[in-house]
Amino acid sequence: MINAVKSKFTSIFFLTIILAYMFFNFQGLSSFLVTSDSDNIESIRKSIENAAVQCYALEGHYPPSIDYLKENYSIITNEDAYIYHYEVEASNIMPTILVFKKWKE
C-alpha cells in the first residue's frame, strides 16, 4: 500500500517537473523571439542612419527622403513587414528615422 502511494506520488512529482520545464522553455523561447524582433528593427534603423550619414559625408547634406537612399545608397526596404518614418528638418540636421513592425492579421 505504501509503495503504491509512493509510486503515484513519484509519478505526479515527475509529471509536474516535466510540465514546469516545458512551460519555462516556452517562456524563454517567446522572450527570445520578442528580443530578436526588436534587435532586427534597431538593426534596420541603424542601417538607414548609417546610409544617411554616409550621404552627408559624401554630398554635404542629409538625403531628402528614404527613396533617395534606396536609389543612391543601395538601401533595401521591406514595405510589407515594416513601416518606415523618415523626417527631414533641414539638410544639415540628422533626420528622424523610425522603423515599426507591421501587425500581421
Q: Residue-wise pLDDT tens for the chain (105 aa)? A: 566 666 676 777 777 777 766 666 666 655 555 556 778 899 999 999 999 999 999 999 999 999 999 999 989 999 999 999 999 999 999 999 999 998 876
At 35 the pLDDT is 58
Q: Please tell me the total number of residues recorded for the chain in this structure.
A: 105
Q: What CA–CA distance (Å, rounded) separates 92 from 53?
A: 11
Q: What CA–CA distance (Å, rounded) separates 43 from 47?
A: 6
Q: What CA–CA distance (Å, rounded) separates 31 from 46?
A: 23
At 3 the pLDDT is 62
Half-sphere exposure of 1 (CA within 13 A, CB side): 0
At 39 the pLDDT is 81
